[in-house]
Amino acid sequence: MSALAHRPLGGRILTKPVFILGFFVLLGAYFIARRFIFGLGDVSHMSNGYPLGVWVAIDVVVGTAFGCGGYAMALLIYIFNRNTYHPLMRPALLGGVFGYTLAGLAVMIDLGRYWNAFNLLMPWYAQLNSVIFEVALCVMAYTTVLWIEFWPVFLERMPPAFKQRFNLEKFQAFLKRYMFVFIGLGVLLPTMHQSSLGSVLLVMGSKLSPLWYTAWLPLLFLISALTMGYSVVLLESTLVSRAFRLPSESALLTPLSRIVAGLLALFLLIRFGALLAGGHLNLVFAGDRLSSLFLIETALFLAPLFILASPGGRGSQRWRFLAAVSLLAGGSLYRINAYLMAVDPGNGWVYFPSAPELMITVGVVCLEIMLYLFFIKTLPILHGSANQSHGRLL
Amino acid sequence: MEQVEDHAIEVGTVQDLDGYQGALGGLTRREFLSYCTGVAATLGLSSMMGLRIAAAATAPARPPVIWLSAQECTGCTESLLRAYHPTLETLILDMISLDYHEALCAGAGHQAEAYRAQSMKANWGKYILVVDGSIPTKDGGIYCMVAGRPILETVREAAEGAAVIIGIGSCASWGGIPSSDPNPTGAQSVHAVLPGKTVVNIPGCPPNPYNFLSTVLYLLTFGKPPELDSKNRPRFAYGRLIHENCERRPHFDAGRFALEFGDFGHRQGFCLYKIGCKGPETYANCPAIGFGDVGEGNWPVGIGHPCFGCTEEGVGFTKPLHALSRVKTYAPPTAFPAVDATKGEGVTPAAVAIIAGAAGLAVGAGAMALRGMDGKDESAAGSSHDSER
């Protein structure tokens, strides 16, 4: 697909939603500052029993799944050669860039001794048996790869004089020539760390409820990351085309929905198969808190499966949108459950995120949406209509 | 060499060493090797070692070591004999020339004393002096006489020509068991009788052989003693409390104590603090390196006996065995919370409000977005509806 079709949307940047989002970003920044001045305990309810709090469970585990749009689309477009989907690639990539970069930011807030984080990159300190180490390295590498994949967007927007002055045309040619390497890495790395996010839970062993614990966790996390990635693309495409009055990408989204349905069916099959094989199916109807969470989660997965399995559901924008929302909610709940709600470290530990802790997460999410709006208005990301001028500040 | 005369080493008592060596010199090569192999067999070494002894015995000069024994029990030497990396024979055959050691030297009586004097004279200012045992000072030091002289004099004399002085064992380091009340011999540590001299102390009863060997190998390699603490103990070995690296430490922190020998806690391997373990006030690396080269856990606390603080002056041989130690880090509370008490922090109204708000916002935004979707044909989407903003 030609890159020429991509154009900045233009339009006002400091709109009302941006001011509202900005307020929450500032509030989040205030609590982040408190965290760095007064320490983790000042803003967070994390403890020795629950060292992984809401920043990991939501900002990293759910956030990177939302950021898997780029991964899922790259897999489809470049590995399975479905080039027709190419117009969806750049916005999905942008979602990935933000999802992963801000997950990295959340980790830096979350790390007690963040100033030691550079040691992760020192090969002589590498602990090769650690799942978290693999996740950390992979996420760092993938974030870098995402920005490299995203570079052509900046380069297209730069004035030619500027590019000439800094010899960027050569760089552009280099990127164009070797992009396949980064695209390859961009598919490999998320496959590694998204499944490792499941392996992290394998280490938790009996701390995790048997409703979630299974040896298949890595595969389940990988598949759910893919379904969530495609759902983000469905959702984002629908919202953006409506909000900015762009031509609908329905012709692409309908067949894409079919893939989501297939993956979702596979996910549920493994999920329930593992429960059956492990003999824990009775816990589903135990009637306690965990079984309720499991049932809500399963309902949120089953609804999109039924919607997207039928041609009518796939073809309708409304139903497709609902299915994507439901799937994202289900996938998020699955991850939050597995990382927080269904985890009981024993010995009387309890955890519920504190208000400042949540405000930091809200701030990070708002920052993500704000930057997304800013980028699509100023950079050639979407297939825009030609009648809009470039971005204005007001 | 004038110094020798100054310090009046009794060179006169040196016997006709040339004559003695001549006696050995009369041996044929075969007889000499056969003799060395015999020595190796006596030491319980393989016959191959005989050749190494022969090679070592004829090697060019290795740093000479004079080992003096005062009021001691030979425990330090026994401990050294049980070292395997390196073994003591590696040390004394390859690394140093152990010119005098009452328990280990081949010669005896006047011959040994003469050889010591000879070696000190030849290596004045260059030899390593090792002392084990405390030095009696009462009544002119008559309570420990070696070769007809008070050991006090011998030590002072040898210290003058020593490049380095090492006090091995608690007796040499701070007085040890002979200095315990009522201290009938006026026993003192080596550094106490050598004012103005630096004595590297390797306390312990006995000390771990590797602390001594490592110190000596450090000396041989770098030509200076390793970093020392305020009591002149090498920091690598005595820099931390036993308590800090003790494998039973988690029991201390959790309040699980053995209360008497053989009780439930003792059999479970709980902390021995309450039956008098001195680990919390004793500096040594016992838990980290263990004893006897048989793996981890082989040290007093590891096998269920409280540490009695042998390395620490004022603790070992001084405090009653079952008295509570003075914890240098922090003492345990008298009462511990129940293991299943609520820990961490739970729900706050503000957090719930934020989650509810976010969820409401998401549902609301979703509903708003849905409002305009006709669900059938959205080819004209965005043209016939107001946008949200």
pLDDT digits (tens, 9 = 90+) for B293-314: 787 788 999 999 999 999 999 9
* Cβ–Cβ below 8 Å for A355 and B388: no
pLDDT band for B51, please (50, 70, 90 cuts). low
Averaged pLDDT, A268-292? 92
pLDDT band for B69, please (50, 70, 90 cuts). very high
Structure tokens at B172: 């040499």
pLDDT band for B53, please (50, 70, 90 cuts). low
Minimum-distance CB partner of A248 among B340, B353, B379: B379
**Exposed, middle or buried, B226 (CB in 10 Å: 0-12/13-18/19+)?**
middle
* Cβ–Cβ below 8 Å for A351 and B370: no
> A46-50, A85-89, A139-143, A334-338: lowest mean pLDDT where?
A85-89
Minimum-distance CB partner of A243 among B347, B375, B388: B388
Distance, in Å, from the CA atom of A223 to the CA atom of A273, rounded to the nearest integer, reads 15
In angstroms, the separation between the Cα of residue B245 and the nearest Cα of chain A is: 21
Chain B partners of A50 at a C-beta cutoff of 8 Å?
Answer: 344
Give the per-residue pLDDT at B42: 56
pLDDT band for B41, please (50, 70, 90 cuts). low
Give A305-346 pLDDT, tens digit per residue.
Answer: 999 999 888 888 888 889 999 999 999 999 999 999 999 988
* Cβ–Cβ below 8 Å for B381 and A239: no
Distance, in Å, from the CA atom of B287 to the CA atom of B27, rounded to the nearest integer, reads 50
The count of residues in chain B is: 389
How many alpha carbons fall within 13 Å on the CB side of residue B99?
Answer: 22
The residue ranking higher by pLDDT, B38 or A110, is A110
Averaged pLDDT, A125-133? 89
The residue ranking higher by pLDDT, B15 or B303, is B303
Tokens 């006002």 -> residue: A12
Instruction: Measure Cα distances from B184 to A168, B22, B135, B148, B177 in Å.
Output: 90, 46, 12, 21, 11
Instruction: Measure Cα distances from B259 to A61, B264, B269, B274, B277 in Å.
Output: 48, 9, 11, 6, 11
Give the per-residue pLDDT at B14: 43
Give A340-367 pLDDT, tens digit per residue.
Answer: 999 998 888 899 999 999 999 999 999 9
* Cβ–Cβ below 8 Å for B388 and A319: no
Chain B partners of A23 at a C-beta cutoff of 8 Å?
Answer: none
Superfamily of domain B240-334 in CATH is Cytochrome-c3 hydrogenase, C-terminal domain (4.10.480.10)
Averaged pLDDT, B187-216? 90
Give the per-residue pLDDT at B43: 53
Interface residues on A facing B, Cβ-Cβ cutoff 8 A: 15-17, 45, 47-50, 238-239, 241-246, 248, 250, 316-319, 321-322, 325, 347-355, 357-359, 362
pLDDT band for B12, please (50, 70, 90 cuts). very low
pLDDT band for B380, please (50, 70, 90 cuts). very low
Is residue B287 within 8 Å of B302, Cβ to Cβ? yes
Highest mean pLDDT among A375-389, B39-53, B163-177: B163-177
* Cβ–Cβ below 8 Å for B382 and A245: yes
Minimum-distance CB partner of A248 among B344, B381, B385: B381
* Cβ–Cβ below 8 Å for A316 and B388: no
pLDDT band for B5, please (50, 70, 90 cuts). very low
Contact B369/A at CB under 8 A: yes
Give the per-residue pLDDT at A389: 44
B221 contacts: CB under 8 Å, gap ≥ 6: none
Give residue limits of the domains in chain B.
Answer: 10-60, 62-238, 240-334
Give the per-residue pLDDT at A197: 92
pLDDT band for A391, please (50, 70, 90 cuts). very low
Is residue B203 within 8 Å of B311, Cβ to Cβ? yes
Chain A partners of B341 at a C-beta cutoff of 8 Å?
Answer: 348
Chain B partners of A354 at a C-beta cutoff of 8 Å?
Answer: 345, 348, 350-351
Q: Which long-range contacts (CB under 8 A, 24 or more apart) does A84-90 make?
A: A84/A252, A85/A252, A85/A256, A86/A1, A87/A1, A87/A5, A87/A249, A87/A252, A87/A383, A88/A233, A88/A237, A88/A249, A88/A252, A88/A256, A90/A6, A90/A153, A90/A380, A90/A381, A90/A382
Give the torsion through C-alpha atoms of B343, B348, B354, B357, to 10 deg. 120
Contact B374/A at CB under 8 A: yes
Per the prediction, chain B carries an average pLDDT of: 81
* Cβ–Cβ below 8 Å for A15 and B343: no
* Cβ–Cβ below 8 Å for A242 and B342: no
Contact B387/A at CB under 8 A: yes
* Cβ–Cβ below 8 Å for B351 and A351: no
Is residue B154 within 8 Å of B89, Cβ to Cβ? no
* Cβ–Cβ below 8 Å for B345 and A354: yes
Contact B381/A at CB under 8 A: yes
Tokens 């006169």 -> residue: B12
For CA atoms B21, B23, B28, B32, the dihedral sign is negative
Comparing alpha-carbon positions, the chain A residue that sits nearest to B355 is A358
Q: Give the mutation candidate from A43, A66, A242 for the B interface (greatest B CB count, under 10 A).
A: A242
ipTM of the shown complex? 0.79
pLDDT at A298 over 80: yes
pLDDT band for B39, please (50, 70, 90 cuts). low
Tell me how far the alpha carbon of residue B354 is from its chain's centroid.
58
pLDDT band for A10, please (50, 70, 90 cuts). confident
* Cβ–Cβ below 8 Å for B370 and A318: yes
Is residue A94 within 8 Å of A150, Cβ to Cβ? yes
Chain A partners of B345 at a C-beta cutoff of 8 Å?
Answer: 45, 47, 350-352, 354
Distance, in Å, from the CA atom of A374 to the CA atom of A368, rounded to the nearest integer, reads 10
CATH class of B62-238: alpha beta
Tokens 């070592």 -> residue: B56
In angstroms, the separation between the Cα of residue B360 and the nearest Cα of chain A is: 13
Structure tokens at B268: 């479970």
b/e sequence B245-273, b meaning 16+ C-beta within 10 Å: ebebbebbeeeebbeeeeeebbeebbbbb
**CB pairs < 8 Å spanning A and B:** 100
Per the prediction, chain A carries an average pLDDT of: 87
Q: Where on the phi/psi map is residue B278: left (φ > 0), alpha (ψ -120 to 50), or beta?
A: alpha
Chain B partners of A45 at a C-beta cutoff of 8 Å?
Answer: 344-346
Structure tokens at A363: 């701030």
**How does DSSP assign A174-211, residue by residue?**
HHHHHHHHHHHHHHHHHHHHHHHHHHHHHHHGGGB-TT
A266 contacts: CB under 8 Å, gap ≥ 6: A223
pLDDT band for B28, please (50, 70, 90 cuts). low
Averaged pLDDT, B171-176? 93
Considering the domain delimited by A45-347, tell me its CATH architecture.
Answer: Up-down Bundle (1.20)
In angstroms, the separation between the Cα of residue B359 and the nearest Cα of chain A is: 10
Distance, in Å, from the CA atom of A313 to the CA atom of B376, rounded to the nearest integer, reads 10
Contact B385/A at CB under 8 A: yes
Q: Where in chain A is the domain with CATH 1.20.1630.10?
A: 45-347
Averaged pLDDT, A168-176? 84
Coil, strand or helix: which one is A363? helix
* Cβ–Cβ below 8 Å for B389 and A16: yes
pLDDT at A66 over 60: yes
Averaged pLDDT, B36-59? 60
Predicted TM-score (pTM) of the model is: 0.60
In angstroms, the separation between the Cα of residue B345 and the nearest Cα of chain A is: 5
pLDDT at B283 over 80: yes
Give the per-residue pLDDT at B281: 93
Comparing alpha-carbon positions, the chain A residue that sits nearest to B371 is A318
Chain B partners of A362 at a C-beta cutoff of 8 Å?
Answer: 354, 358
In angstroms, the separation between the Cα of residue B372 and the nearest Cα of chain A is: 9
Chain A partners of B338 at a C-beta cutoff of 8 Å?
Answer: 348
Highest mean pLDDT among A201-205, A257-261, A291-295, B211-215: A291-295
Chain B partners of A353 at a C-beta cutoff of 8 Å?
Answer: 351
State the Rg of chain B over Cα: 34
* Cβ–Cβ below 8 Å for A319 and B375: yes
State the Rg of chain A over Cα: 21
Give the per-residue pLDDT at B46: 63
